[in-house]
Amino acid sequence: MMIRRTRTRTATLAALAAMAVAASTLAGGTAVAAPVPVPQDINGDGYRDVVLPAPGATVKGRSGAGAVVVLYGSAKGVSAAKRVVITQESPGVPGAAEAGDAFGASSAVADLDKDGYADVVVGIPYESVGTTRAAGSAVVLWGSKNGPVAGAALPTRVEKNGYAGRDVAAWSGPDGAQLLVVNNNSTTRLTGPFTRAGKPKSSYLHDETGWMRSASYGDLNGDKAADRVLVTGRMGGWSGGNVFVNSSMAGNPLDRRMTGGDGLTSAVGDVNGDGYGDLVVGDPDEPEAEGPFGHRGGAVHIWFGSANGVAYDKAPMTVHQDSAGVPGSGERYDAFGTSVAVADLDRDGKAEIIVGAPGEAIGTKSRAGVVVVVPGRATGALGAGSYSFSQDTAGVPGAVEAEDWFGGTVSAGDLNRDGRPELVVGAAWENGSGGVWVLPGGASKPAYASAVSFGPGGLGLANISGLLLGGDLQT
């Protein structure tokens, strides 16, 4: 399938690309996980379901082939008893499990074919396509009353070491369905309706931003239509990558670049309760110098939405662990902002920002990890009333250990239909293999005493080092 462009690169793009760091790994760079998607109803029973990554899973003796686990929601929340493990050896899943493919390194959930069941998109960034090594790919697994039962390959750009599927994002709204598949150097946007063979109505190649890291969708101006957020890989001299909103080759892409902040991952939600989605960008890396692009120990940047969307030329509000009211302090390599999610946990109409800081030390336990919750508010600086939790918090299962990376991924959604969003937290290196925690929603904050955790054994996965249950920590 041909992916159309509207014009060739401009001199501005060439200059922008020249700024990009050529390698995918930087010395001292913070590990950042592809997000766990916001839960949605995959089997149509009225309860939202969680998709968990395990991209290091061994499948039929093939190390690192990868898997995803679907935990089905219910009136009692989620349990290991109601789950399905999906690999490329599962019936109906395109391709075959091969060593090092990392099936499940990214995932997204949305109803792409408008049949009432949410569909699961899975990225496979290290899969070879034909003779093209590590071209990467993405597949869609169609939702049904029996859960994901069959799938189709999606059209993506094929290039050596392209790593297509290093992140994926999906949207389904009144304006139709859309999908973003992140490639190392570009992003493929597919628009619906989609056929069961995975064919979209149209496709577009976003290569105006330079090399890519992550993508997300949201509604920033209240029109109920998709606004797309593209975040590049690390840029020279910055603490993260450039952030673009609704960029295209039709104009100067720098006109669509957010100013005054950068990062590596993003989420959208209504933080100030004005009815418009706000853009939250996680910026976990250490800056070369203190300033607008980064903070010691990491930061998150917030651009507020409006009837006109976000203001590209206005600096964001920035929150970090040295902000008033935020627990802890900004320390080197805390990685605050490695993961971000937005959800109204206290149901006051203003969404909280959930921030993972997996590099945070707890006592003498380095990189044990914490999650910080920053309450939304209508006006003024964010930070007041913030709180944090970890495996050292009473009621949270497990124990604080060095190198767990608790908070490497975060997500939130109402899994038991009680109106209180649950928090989902991943720690990719818990006991060397990873783990996931689900914290039920409480009156105003998570109900720690009712939290449950899931390890490899309980989910039907082999307990191996590097399983990465809960998130693929990539630099």
pLDDT for the residue numbered 255: 83
Residue type, 453: S
Average pLDDT over residues 110-126: 96
Considering only CA atoms, which of 166, 210, 175 is closest in space to residue 193?
A: 175
Domain 160-453 - what CATH class?
mainly beta
Give me the DSSP letters along 186-240.
Answer: -EEEEESPPPTTS--SEEEEE-TT-SEEEEEEE-SSSSSS-EEEEEES-BTTSSS
SS3 453: strand
What pLDDT score was predicted for residue 474? 54
Quote the CA–CA distance of 97 and 64 in Å, as a whole number.
9
pLDDT of residue 159: 94
Report how far residue 410's alpha carbon sits from residue 247's, in angstroms, rounded to the nearest whole number. Answer: 27
Q: Mind listing the pLDDT tens digit for each residue in 328-338? A: 999 999 999 99
Q: Is-contact 193 148, C-beta < 8 A?
A: no
Spatial separation of the C-alpha atoms in residues 49 and 42, rounded to whole Å: 6
CA-to-CA dists, residue 321 to 264, 266, 351, 396, angstroms:
18, 18, 19, 22
Output the pTM of the full model.
0.92
With CA atoms as reference, report the closest residue to 301 among 321, 286, 279.
279
> Three-state SS for 306?
coil
Q: For residue 22, is pLDDT > 70?
A: no
The pLDDT of residue 8 is 32
When mean pLDDT is compared across 179-183, 255-259, 399-403, the lowest value belongs to 255-259
Share of the chain above pLDDT 70, in %: 91
Interval 293-319: pLDDT, tens: 789 999 999 999 999 999 999 999 999
CB 411 within 8 A of CB 38: yes
- Domain boundary assignment for the chain: 160-453
Residue with tokens 């590990």: 31
What is the distance of C-alpha 208 from the center of its chain? 22
Q: CB neighbours of 14 closer than 8 A, spacing ≥ 6?
A: none
**148: preceding bond cis by omega (within 30 degrees):** no
Q: With 90 as the cut, is the pLDDT of residue 419 above it? A: yes
d(CA 24, CA 447): 39
Residue 267 pLDDT exceeds 80: yes
| Structure tokens belonging to residue 86 | 């999906």
**Which letter does DSSP use for residue 256 in this model?**
G
Average pLDDT of the segment spanning 226-241: 89
DSSP sequence for 388-432: EE-TTSTTSSS---TT--EEEEEEEE-SSSSS-PEEEEEETTGGG
Residue 313's beta-bridge partner residues? none
Measure the CA–CA gap between 461 and 402, rounded to whole angstroms: 23
Has residue 9 got a pLDDT over 50?
no
CB 350 within 8 A of CB 419: no
- Secondary-structure percent of the chain, ordered helix, strand, coil, rounded to 5: 5, 35, 60
What value does the CA radius of gyration of the chain take, rounded to a whole number of Å?
20
Mean pLDDT of 253-263: 88
pLDDT over 80 (residue 441): yes
Q: Cα separation of 385 and 375, whole Å?
A: 6
- Quickly tell me which residue has 């920033």 as its tokens: 220
Length in residues, the chain? 475
Q: DSSP H helical segments within 9-148, as ranges?
A: 11-19
17 phi and psi angles, rounded to 5 deg: -65, -35
Which whole number is the average pLDDT over 185-204? Answer: 95
- Average pLDDT over the chain, rounded to an integer: 90
Report pLDDT for 2.
30
Identify which of 291, 456, 278 has the alpha carbon closest to the alpha carbon of residue 352: 278
Report whether pLDDT(97) > 90.
Answer: yes
